[in-house]
A = this chain, B = another copy of it.
Amino acid sequence: MVVVIDRALGMVFDSGIIYHFGLPFRGCFCFYKLLSYPGMTMTDTHQRFATLLDKLGEVAVKAGLNLRPGQELIISAPIEALPLVRTITKYAYQVGTTQVTPIFSDNILKKARFLYGHEAIFDYASQWFADGIAEAFQNGAARMAITGEDPSLLSDIAPERIARATKASSIANQKAMKLITSFATNWTIVAFATPEWAAKVFPDIPIDQAVENLWEAIFTASRIRGTDPIAEWKDHNAQLNKKATQLNTQRFSALHFTGPGTDMTIGLADDHFWAAGAEETQNGIICNPNIPTEEVFTTPHRLRVNGHVQSTKPLSYQGNLIDNIRVTFKDGTITEAHATKGEDALHRMIANDEGARRLGEVALVPHSSPIAQQNILFQNTLFDENAASHIALGQSYSKCMMNAEALSDKELLEKGANQSIIHVDWMIGSGEIDVDGLSQTQERQPLMRKGEWV
């Protein structure tokens, strides 16, 4: 009899890289071939791509995580992202990680639960895995997520099933999520251009070209094209940090957005805090939780938003595109909401709970950011929220409140920090938007003109 060993319970979880030939732009569906093929020849395109992918992996480990020797590393990734996981794993072991645990997901496996699962299972989520992850974080494991989802994977699944499964998963993962959002350990998210994602971003061109285009956009946005991307990330962080520090010093009581279709005053929460770029973990590691990141963001006051605002990019929400959103706020809550496309989805979204009609985040992004300049709707928040100034309906971030760790949920609410089961970002910035800061005494100071920092 053979007992479950090796792969089964043990050495599966020892991981890394030998060769990576990378993902060719042509024949992208077949890139696994290139990974395994002995004696293959690499074209210049492959070589150039392999170099860029290697840089992205290095930036993810060294600037994104700032991985320390002796830390474990947990990486989740779409199965298509194997070449990047291999690169990251190589760098992680070179830095001195003790063990890389890769967690691969597959669209078809993910969807199967909804297609074939018995009705009773959607309120169930594995607790053992969530608890294990939380334990790993408590023991100092670093966390990397590679994003590359098909944005409309579940668009034909009953929303009610998805909602139940999401809720069950949220509850199971509460502890782990709290450790992440409170930066108990270092974590980061980077992107991988899967064919399924690329096809949604560039629906009108051949898939190979779509994947190539998406990769070029990711490489540019992730600031890895220079000769020393690690140093460039340091500079970029310094600039973002300078901007956040200015805003924290100025302590505006409100922001005023004006532009085509937009005239809105967003009161800021009492003791709001502007965050940007790198974060320091509780044990003193400086990490970049999002690659890319261009935003400087804080917490609106849940009761002090007034006026009307118009979206400047479509919003991809649960497989639906919601376009030309026009919303009116009074005393923090939405009183009217329209969209030329997907208005039903918009109404469903803001009906989730009372907090879903109020703002949980406001973020400023200059129109000249490398992501905005690409003028692509990525249908992935990691990119789209860094392409334009934006607001988010729903839950606020405790890290965007001063001394949040010492405050109860009730105290945070009283200071104006919104609470909700949703957090949905949508874009309101463009090259035509002006933003002013308003002081406690209603003195007005220009912050952005035509989408650029003053």
Chain A interface residues toward B at CB < 8 A: 1-20, 29-33, 35-37, 69, 72, 76-79, 82, 85-86, 89-90, 93-94, 96-118, 121, 124-126, 128-133, 135-136, 139, 141, 143, 145-147, 149, 165-166, 169-170, 172-173, 176-177, 180-181, 187, 189, 195-196, 275, 289-290, 293, 295, 297, 381-382, 385, 397
Chain B residues with CB below 8 A from A133, complex form:
9, 128
Partner of A124, one of B6, B99, B187: B99
Chain B residues with CB below 8 A from A107, complex form:
18
16 further A-B contacts with Cβ under 8 Å, apart from A15-B109, A86-B112, A98-B121, are: A4-B143, A8-B143, A9-B176, A15-B105, A16-B116, A17-B112, A36-B195, A79-B82, A85-B109, A89-B112, A90-B112, A93-B121, A99-B126, A100-B109, A100-B112, A103-B103
**Contact, CB under 8 Å: A96 / B118:** yes
**Contact, CB under 8 Å: B33 / A3:** no
Chain B residues with CB below 8 A from A290, complex form:
1-2
**Contact, CB under 8 Å: B149 / A17:** no
The oligomer's copy count stands at 2
A76, B4: Cα distance in complex, Å: 10
Chain B residues with CB below 8 A from A82, complex form:
79, 106
Closest to A400 in B: B1
**Contact, CB under 8 Å: B111 / A16:** yes
A62, B30: Cα distance in complex, Å: 33
Chain B residues with CB below 8 A from A115, complex form:
16-18, 93
Chain B residues with CB below 8 A from A116, complex form:
16-17, 90, 93-94
> Least Cβ distance of A26 to chain B in Å?
13
**Contact, CB under 8 Å: B132 / A131:** yes
A99, B123: Cα distance in complex, Å: 11
Chain B residues with CB below 8 A from A32, complex form:
29-32
**Contact, CB under 8 Å: A100 / B85:** no
Partner of A110, one of B14, B297, B385: B14
A8, B173: Cα distance in complex, Å: 10
For this complex, 8 residue pairs linking A to B, each with C-beta atoms less than 8 Å apart, are A10-B169, A16-B115, A17-B116, A29-B33, A93-B121, A99-B113, A104-B104, A128-B136
Chain B residues with CB below 8 A from A3, complex form:
177, 180-181, 289
Chain B residues with CB below 8 A from A165, complex form:
11, 14
**Contact, CB under 8 Å: A86 / B102:** no
Partner of A12, one of B13, B99, B110, B381: B110
With A69-B118, A170-B10, A177-B3 as known contacts, state yes or no: A131 contacts B126, CB within 8 Å. no
A196, B38: Cα distance in complex, Å: 11
Closest to A108 in B: B18
Chain B residues with CB below 8 A from A33, complex form:
29-30
A12, B385: Cα distance in complex, Å: 23
A377, B432: Cα distance in complex, Å: 71
Closest to A9 in B: B173
**Contact, CB under 8 Å: A297 / B1:** yes
**Contact, CB under 8 Å: A72 / B36:** no
> Least Cβ distance of A160 to chain B in Å?
15
4 smallest A-B Cβ distances: which pairs? A16-B112, A132-B132, A15-B109, A10-B169
Partner of A129, one of B13, B16, B29, B173: B13
**Contact, CB under 8 Å: B79 / A169:** no
Chain B residues with CB below 8 A from A9, complex form:
76, 130, 133, 169, 173, 176-177, 180
**Contact, CB under 8 Å: B166 / A11:** yes
Select the residue from A173, A275, A289 with max chain B CB neighbours within 10 A: A173
**Contact, CB under 8 Å: B1 / A275:** yes
Chain B residues with CB below 8 A from A143, complex form:
4, 8
**Contact, CB under 8 Å: A4 / B102:** no
**Contact, CB under 8 Å: A72 / B126:** yes
A78, B32: Cα distance in complex, Å: 14
With A180-B3, A181-B3 as known contacts, state yes or no: A79 contacts B93, CB within 8 Å. no
